[in-house]
Structure 1
Amino acid sequence: MQERNWKDFFKQVGLIVGIVSIVFTVTVAGFVVANLQDMGRLVRVVQLVKSDYLEKSSGNQLIEGATRGIVDSLGDPYSVYMDAEENAQLMEQIEGKFGGVGIIISLKDPDKLVVLRPIKNTPAAKAGLEPGDVITKIDDQDATTIPQDKAVALMRGDPGTKVNLTIYRDSTKQTLSVPLTREAIAVPTVDGEALPGNSDIAYIDISQFSTNTANELASVLKTMDISKYKGIVLDLRYNHGGELDAAVGVASRFVQSGPVVYIVDNEGRTLTKSAEDNFLGKPFVVLVNEESASASEIVAGAIKDRGTGTLVGVKTFGKGIVQTIFPLDTGTSLKLTTAKYLTPNKIDIHKKGIEPDVKVELKKGEEATIAPTDRKYDSQLTQAVQILREKIK
């Protein structure tokens, strides 16, 4: 009996080493020695679960739970352990292609699934979903009790499969059931056209920063023949960010050669990301709001510090940290906050945001006119056009 107990004990120790090695692959030995007492507690918990827990539990299940718990214990909402399914969904989002219904969710209230806007020509747009709709159920799952990323994962799936959304529409005080069939969603991140009613002003909206956004912008500028316009309105409102190098590529169109952003790691080492020589050299105004975050703040911060354009709107979200994705085994990954970024003037905007040069709030009940189709501009866009007219007259 005693020999068997020792064998069981060493099996549990081996399991714990497996758990720890996933995250601490380089420093396992030092970590274990420095935290021997805590490791003993972890071994004891695993022993008790394996020997006394009512239900059966696999070693893989415990490793998954322990790994996720290690990351969750950091208290950082941006550092996440992702299983194979979650990791695949993140890669799809970064690449801008996935199976789903075509909804962008607002960051403003993390406890609600509020539709920021449906993507053009997607199932959500065709079904008539509107900005401000609150998703309360996804099929039979109560969407008010799960994190946003989990809810987004539930709405995604293979093209051709079906999902039913229950939404509450405050404007009509109605609860609606909306059946949708998922499609392959290729999200265009850049939209450019002449501003309705102002044919000499180019309007460019960037909705997020995927790996292809800088190339998309180059293509849009060429298609528009940007040289024929006197000025540009760059709309970064509701842009939640994305890929760092894409932001630098976009910023290169709006600032001259030189620093765009400084990346500072946990040892104080600084990496400088600089603009390429692609500056458009035209007067422009940038629209920002409280949901302009992360990569969009890199672009806005560079423009403000370098003084090449005017920021109009309200203070940005304030996400000034950088995540690195570390691939693990079996298709899993760790998204970990590894650095902070500073604007060209070495300003840390994390949890502070960027103040616009000209503050303009939307009026109560007023919706932002993203990619307008007529001259009914919102207050922020109206002010942006007025400022730009002063620059180009």
Structure 2
Amino acid sequence: MKKWFKITLSTVILIGLLLGSFYLGNKIAIDNGNKVVIDKEEYDIFSKLDSFKDIVDEYFLFDIKDEDLKTSTYKGFFNGLGDPYTEYMTEEEYEKLVESSSGEYSGIGVYITVTDDNLIKVISPIKGSPAFNSGIQPGDIIAQVNGETFTGDQLNDAMAIMKGKPGDKVTIGIKRLSEDGSYEDLEVNVTVDIVELKTVEYSKVDNLGYILISQFGEKTYEEFVEGYNSLKDDKVNGIILDLRNNPGGLKDTCVEIADFLLPEGPIVKTVDKNGNEDISKSDPKEENLPMVVLVNNNSASASEILAGAIQDYEKATIVGSTTYGKGLVQTLAPLKTFGINDNGALKITIQEYFTPKDRKINEVGVKPDKEVEMPENTTEYGIEHLDTDIQLKTAIDILANS
């Protein structure tokens, strides 16, 4: 299956960006390569920005870098859309994002998201990563990096520091929710290293197969099929598929796994701004081992596509808590594909997705068939914590009695 990514101040330069991507419908004329004719409304925007630059040059106390000012202007344009998933990315940010989907990258090894109140929240550290070994936990709020305060709208700036070179020392200031409901301020020292992103783990528990998918990357489908078939050959009586704390990833990879598991029919429907629909479908081949799928409120995007499709076909019992509710698809493309002379990229929301039974996921989530809430502030999940993981215990009980 073809893979592609979806899961996505100088006045002259600004004009080039905006006209190149958003104002193509307006008539423009170029004279001698450096004069642009635009309508009055657009001129007023650019004139105001130019005036802002003059004020900064004359009065601003601190030194400024024109390149930083240009980058923040581009980012600010997309921030104004009010969609946390649409953003301008610098060349470095784009390369690091592509790299993180390939199976290995330099960083601290942590999945993060932006909360509704504009904070940077840890979804989960990658097992065995520097973040994991330093004690960073799901639910931690990353408030500072190397002494500098960051909020959700500065996520990429924080990530750029945390994805440094192997051997770089990074100090993470986190806020951790305590049992009494207050936040404890902690400081964690982490050393950047090469993070190997094996996205699938599998093992046996009580003659049942357990498969954990941490995210959907380029190699996830092959890793999943290998694990599933290995457990099947080992004559397990059922499969527990753990999608908890899975932030999503590549939509096409998720669809491949759904195709492997499900009977013939639709897997997911996506709809764009003009109402155009695209339906991904499964072939007739399917798997029939009894299955339970574990989800929680950190299961997002592609993991919700998979859980929602499995639920609609009644191929498994969904156990846990209602998922995150990110039912939007982004595309990621270099700006040069839009005719813009910039080595950066644009991640932009282009579609909303729905389950096979046309259920809405965005801002709703997937509601489990059997709701089981973990104790508040629980950060330990999986086979290693079977004694306290009541969601996993419930899954085992369901399969044992099926």
**TM norm structure 1:** 0.84
1:19 corresponds to: 17
Q: 1:304 aligns with which of 302, 308, 311?
A: 311
Alpha-carbon RMSD across the aligned residues, in angstroms, is 3.2
Q: Provide the C-alpha distance between the structure 1 equivalents of 2:378 and 2:52, rounded to a whole number of angstroms.
A: 55
Q: Where do residues 182-261 of structure 1 align in structure 2 (5 Å cutoff)?
A: 182-195=192-205, 198=206, 200-226=207-233, 228-261=235-268
Q: 1:363 aligns with which of 360, 375, 389?
A: 375
Does 1:345 find its partner at 2:332? no
| Equivalent pair of 1:15/1:59 in contact (CA under 8 Å) | no
Q: Provide the C-alpha distance between the structure 2 equivalents of 1:132 and 1:147, rounded to a whole number of angstroms.
A: 18
Q: 1:140 aligns with which of 115, 129, 147?
A: 147
Q: Where do residues 56-135 of structure 1 align in structure 2 (5 Å cutoff)?
A: 64-105=71-112, 111-135=118-142
| Equivalent pair of 2:244/2:294 in contact (CA under 8 Å) | yes
Q: Which secondary structure does the structure 1 equivalent of 2:27 belong to?
A: helix
Relative to structure 1, the CA distance from residue 59 to residue 368 in structure 2 (aligned partners, 3 Å threshold; closer, same or farther) is closer
User: Which range is displaced more, 67-76 or 52-61?
Assistant: 52-61
Q: Number of aligned pairs?
A: 375
**1:106 CA displacement:** 6.1
**1:134 CA displacement:** 4.6
Relative to structure 1, the CA distance from residue 212 to residue 351 in structure 2 (aligned partners, 3 Å threshold; closer, same or farther) is same
Residues 8-62 of structure 1, C-alpha deviation per residue, up to 9 Å, x if partnerless? xxxx8855541323323753539xxxx9342121232244246554259898666
1:373 corresponds to: 384
| Equivalent pair of 2:241/2:294 in contact (CA under 8 Å) | yes
Q: Which secondary structure does the structure 2 equivalent of 1:125 belong to?
A: helix
1:164 corresponds to: 171
Q: Which secondary structure does the structure 2 equivalent of 1:274 belong to?
A: strand
2:397 corresponds to: 386
**1:259 CA displacement:** 0.9
1:45 corresponds to: 48
**1:340 CA displacement:** 0.8
2:301 corresponds to: 294
1:331 corresponds to: 343
**1:276 CA displacement:** 4.2
Structure 2 unaligned regions, length at least 5: 1-9, 29-37, 336-340
Q: What code does the residue aligned with 1:141 have?
A: E
Residues 343-383 of structure 1, C-alpha deviation per residue, up to 9 Å, x if partnerless? 1011222111111111111134544522x136415221121
**TM norm structure 2:** 0.82
**1:182 CA displacement:** 1.2
Which has the bigger relative contact order, CA under 8 A and spacing at least 6? 2
Relative to structure 1, the CA distance from residue 277 to residue 107 in structure 2 (aligned partners, 3 Å threshold; closer, same or farther) is farther
1:9 corresponds to: none
**1:68 CA displacement:** 2.5
Q: Which secondary structure does the structure 1 equivalent of 2:255 belong to?
A: helix
Identity %: 34
Q: Provide the C-alpha distance between the structure 2 equivalents of 1:265 and 1:90, rounded to a whole number of angstroms.
A: 24
Q: Which secondary structure does the structure 1 equivalent of 2:323 belong to?
A: coil
Q: What code does the residue aligned with 1:40 have?
A: Y
Does 1:262 find its partner at 2:269? yes
Q: Provide the C-alpha distance between the structure 2 equivalents of 1:50 and 1:109, rounded to a whole number of angstroms.
A: 31
Q: Provide the C-alpha distance between the structure 2 equivalents of 1:367 and 1:130, rounded to a whole number of angstroms.
A: 6
Q: Provide the C-alpha distance between the structure 2 equivalents of 1:376 and 1:231, rounded to a whole number of angstroms.
A: 20
Q: Provide the C-alpha distance between the structure 1 equivalents of 2:64 and 2:173, rounded to a whole number of angstroms.
A: 35
Q: Provide the C-alpha distance between the structure 1 equivalents of 2:190 and 2:11, rounded to a whole number of angstroms.
A: 49
Relative to structure 1, the CA distance from residue 293 to residue 37 in structure 2 (aligned partners, 3 Å threshold; closer, same or farther) is same
Q: Which secondary structure does the structure 1 equivalent of 2:260 belong to?
A: coil
Q: Provide the C-alpha distance between the structure 2 equivalents of 1:125 and 1:242, rounded to a whole number of angstroms.
A: 20
Q: Which secondary structure does the structure 2 equivalent of 1:44 belong to?
A: helix
Q: Provide the C-alpha distance between the structure 1 equivalents of 2:377 and 2:69, rounded to a whole number of angstroms.
A: 49
Relative to structure 1, the CA distance from residue 331 to residue 15 in structure 2 (aligned partners, 3 Å threshold; closer, same or farther) is closer
Relative to structure 1, the CA distance from residue 150 to residue 277 in structure 2 (aligned partners, 3 Å threshold; closer, same or farther) is farther
Residues 230-253 of structure 1, C-alpha deviation per residue, up to 9 Å, x if partnerless? 100111111111111011011123
Q: Which secondary structure does the structure 2 equivalent of 1:252 belong to?
A: helix
User: Which range is displaced more, 294-303 or 112-121?
Assistant: 112-121
Residues 115-166 of structure 1, C-alpha deviation per residue, up to 9 Å, x if partnerless? 4443222223333444455544322223468644432332111112222234
Q: Provide the C-alpha distance between the structure 2 equivalents of 1:167 and 1:57, rounded to a whole number of angstroms.
A: 29
1:322 corresponds to: 329
| Equivalent pair of 2:84/2:114 in contact (CA under 8 Å) | no
Relative to structure 1, the CA distance from residue 159 to residue 278 in structure 2 (aligned partners, 3 Å threshold; closer, same or farther) is farther
Q: Which secondary structure does the structure 2 equivalent of 1:29 belong to?
A: coil
Relative to structure 1, the CA distance from residue 175 to residue 344 in structure 2 (aligned partners, 3 Å threshold; closer, same or farther) is closer
